[in-house]
Structure 1
Amino acid sequence: PPFTAQLNSLIQISYPNLRYLYLSQYDFHINQTAIRNITCLPSNLYGIYLNKYEIIIPTRIFINTIISYSNTFRLLYLSETQITDDTIHSRCRKLKRLNIFNIKN
Structure 2
Amino acid sequence: MPESRSDTSQSTLRTMFSGHYPPTDLELRELVEGGLVVLDANALLDMYRFTPGTRAEYLEALGLLGDRLWIPHRAAEEFMGRRGDAIASISEERASFERISSKRWRNRSR
Larger Rg computed on CA atoms: 2
Higher strand share goes to which structure? 1
Higher helix share goes to which structure? 2
